[in-house]
């Protein structure tokens, strides 16, 4: 199916103006074909990013509230925490228990040791 799509793009490319909207879309599609094929390499990968888009929708809505975070550093911290929580939920973990575990464990590990820190990731 991907090969048929690729052949179609090459055929149609010659029939449209390169600077037109369609021409730009075709050129972009051709340039991204190798990336598109990645989902074929691993059955766990999805062909699109709709799931990721749905997950960041609440983040985008809350972003307006972060205008009042007082500082860019505060907004960045809020965004990082939100990202961690969403990753925890996506991995079927309970956010409260996960954060409690991390906060109780982190004082007793060497945070400069990447392997030890990686063990805390959801």
Q: Give residue 58's pLDDT.
A: 75
pLDDT in the model for residue 54:
83
Q: How far apart are the first and last CA of the chain?
A: 35
Q: What is the pTM of this model?
A: 0.50
Residue 67: predicted pLDDT? 65
pLDDT for residue 83: 85
Please list, in sequence order, all residues whose beta carbon lies within 8 angstroms of the beta carbon of residue 79, skipping any fewer than 6 positions away: 59, 66
pLDDT for 48-77, tens place per residue? 888 888 877 877 777 666 666 778 888 788
Ranges of the chain whose pLDDT falls below 50: none
């Amino acid at each position: 199916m991907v090969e048929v799509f690729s052949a179609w793009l090459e055929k149609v490319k010659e029939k449209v103006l390169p600077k037109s909207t369609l021409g730009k879309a075709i050129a972009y599609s051709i340039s991204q074909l190798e990336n598109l094929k990645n989902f074929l390499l691993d059955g766990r990968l999805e062909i699109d990013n709709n799931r990721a888009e749905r997950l960041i929708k609440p983040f985008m809505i809350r972003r307006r509230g972060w205008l009042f975070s007082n500082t860019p550093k505060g907004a960045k911290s809020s965004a990082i925490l939100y990202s961690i929580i969403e990753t925890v939920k996506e991995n079927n973990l309970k956010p409260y228990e996960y954060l409690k575990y991390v906060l109780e464990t982190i004082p007793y590990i060497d945070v400069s040791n990447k392997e030890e820190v990686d063990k805390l990731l959801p």
